[in-house]
Structure 1
């Protein structure tokens, strides 16, 4: 394996999660007796440029032609997108004469707010089924992967964009150089590119191993993102820390010829990474041990529940949850089933662990003792949604960053589970 950013062959293992199936390859009942392909999920660090990455064993075309994830099923994520659009309109003085492009626009969860603001826009979404949902909701969407040729074609047809949005996609592309070149082609010389990524600072500091899966080819610090964008003639001028996905960063970049000096926030966050040891190889070497500790704590809790005869079910069927389930070896003997708001997943089974996925109404019907929340990064939203579990004395448990019971009117959020 060679580093996909700098080409170095000097890579160090920092987290080996074994072999798992692709995280969104949910199985139908008819597929349960079929063999299921698995691929190594092995996180490495480039000693030269410090990019965290996994081998590109599952191509984006295999993952995203038909995709199980629809962003609009998370109300907090839609609210996050609405706020971003409102703030961007003010920040960049966007008007009905502006043009906004979103790359990996999913089901139009973000661009719907651009449409509502009367601003011309276009989504570029590779998943056929998800892009179709966006068009049905009135969001102009082209089905394509972003590469230099796609970007040139879009720019020729629509003109340069004042704002290019690439939220939670910069980790999903193995061809970093080609994708970054595409971003530069799309944006006008005085425009802005806004990129949101999960911040590797939190991945390492909080042992968020479940954010590692085959869709994510690399994991970004501000330092490595700055280096990658510079290869495409884009300069980072500002950053914002975000609570999404357990700790993310929004990176603002602009064509290098017109870029000013980096903001104070950018310098501060680079300094925070430096203090955390992430600008040196040694800062990453405790991740595997920490991940094993999280796994041991969760398994001990679930085994204790089983010994007490408690019924444990899951909430959510996100990609990160499937990394957690497979790495921990959790199956239906420890987690009877899980539920999800996305109807695409109903009646299917989680990849690898074969745990059935039901409609969320199943929880109220069964009154389980424990609800284990797999999208733990949505704790605020889901604690409120699951408050009814207190009606029968049930508990809502989040596995990360530290295993704990949520406060749903009966327990204290600080109560740790041993």
Structure 2
């Protein structure tokens, strides 16, 4: 990668180099274990002109999302997050029964089902064939497509302009930032709203969340860089919310530039926080690589010492971020016997690169391991409660990020 995908500058500076890893959602079937497995460089750089952090676009979205392993509805807390968002958005925007809501990257309909329940018109635009089919089975109208200006124009011509366009956890997933943003603008009514949720680079850096760097995520946003990205398609930021999701996210409220008006005080406040953290100069990124290396050393030390004591460690979850962590640390089944996941699509498969078996969650209670390494650490509150039974036999939960924490049973 020689130029920034947003502003075209060649002034790209290294932030952290995680080596080469396979695509994080390319789980392997048993009959694929003896085949070659492609790996791609995972090197995060930041543009010193527009401050968009980015990785090289080595894998196309088409390769990742034609058949996708992630179903949002398997996360209880994420479904509740979506329900709350719909309730608050309807109130905030005064959306009536005639409103039209479009969600881009709508997954299995986890969010739009709440819109359907309210009797409002909606449409999901989801590129993954299998996940979109699941949404339609659940009664959520879903178009199988990638968003760009042409798709957006076709949707608008057929359904009319949207009062609200939702783009949760997709703005990082598309290498053509400008074309995608133009698509958002083409979907939304001239007096409508666009809501974008994306992980905040500020918390990624501050909280050492390097495992959220993977090939599905082409860029990582501050509010400052998001303002420039939205403007590239004719949208203007008018408000921002700081969210706890995914370890720290931003919800960007945008409108067509010609009707947006002045941004809220919250926008200025977050921009000031980012500037104070040094994220508009290279100093804010200088120590990140060293802190990433420490996470790797601490986790490997823990796993090796547990193995030498004859203790068993298994994993919980098989998220994309977990595969960045496992590959960067070089963890194999000798240190992590297996991991489990609630998504039956992944059962009987193996993690990419590290070849760790993925089993149903019930296996943990059957085997009663000494430690359970929680890979989706961003769901810590939800999973600490769900996995409380591990303490019944003296087992302990381990969270690897932002630093290694072993959770003892509460007395």
Fold conserved between structures, TM > 0.5: yes
Q: Distance in 2 between matches of 1:27 and 1:168?
A: 24
| Aligned-pair CA distance for 1:293 | 0.8
Q: Give 5+ residue unaligned stretches, structure 1.
A: 411-418
Q: Which residue of 2 aligns with 1:414?
A: none
Cα deviation for residue 407 of structure 1 reads 5.4
Alignment of 1:398-409 (within 5 A): 398-406=399-407, 408-409=409-410
Deviations 1:144-190 (Å, cap 9, x if unpaired)?
00000000000000000000000000000000010000000000011
1:226 aligns with 2:227: yes
Is the 1:50–1:281 contact (alpha carbons within 8 Å) kept by the matching residues of 2?
no
User: Does residue 215 in structure 1 map to residue 216 in structure 2?
Assistant: yes
Counterpart position of 2:80: 79
The two structures have a TM-score, normalised by structure 2, of 0.99
Q: Is the 8 A contact 1:312 1:335 kept in 2?
A: yes
Q: What's the Cα RMSD here? A: 0.7
Q: Which residue of 2 aligns with 1:416?
A: none
Render the CA deviation track for 1:101-131: whole Å, top value 9, x for unaligned. 0000000000000000111000000000000
Q: How far did 1:409 drift?
A: 2.5
Are 1:387 and 1:409, in contact at CA under 8 Å, matched by a contact in 2? no
Instruction: Return the alpha-carbon distance in structure 2 between the equivalents of residues 269 and 47 of structure 1.
Output: 19
Deviations along 1:43-73, one digit per CA (max 9) or x if unpaired, are: 0111111110000000000000000000000
SS in structure 2 at match of 1:347: coil
Distance 2:263 2:404 in 1: 38
Distance 2:25 2:232 in 1: 31
Aligned twin of 2:315: 314
SS in structure 1 at match of 2:26: coil
Q: TM-score with structure 1 length normalisation?
A: 0.97
Aligned to 2:145: 144
Deviations 1:296-333 (A, max 9, x none): 11111111111111100000000000000000001111
Q: What is the rounded CA distance, in whole Å, between the counterparts of 2:278 and 2:91 in structure 1?
A: 36
Q: Which residue of 1 aligns with 2:114?
A: 113
Residue equivalent to 2:239? 238
Q: State the distance in 1 between where 2:30 and 2:191 align.
A: 52
1:254-293 equivalences in 2 (<5 Å): 254-293=255-294
- Larger CA deviation: 301-310 vs 165-174: 301-310
SS in 2 for 1:133: helix
Q: Which runs of 5+ in 2 are unaligned?
A: none
Question: Structure 1 residue 260: deviation in Å?
Answer: 1.5
* 1:290 aligned counterpart, secondary structure: helix
Q: Which runs of 4+ in 1 moved over 2 A?
A: 405-410
Q: Distance in 2 between matches of 1:301 and 1:210?
A: 18
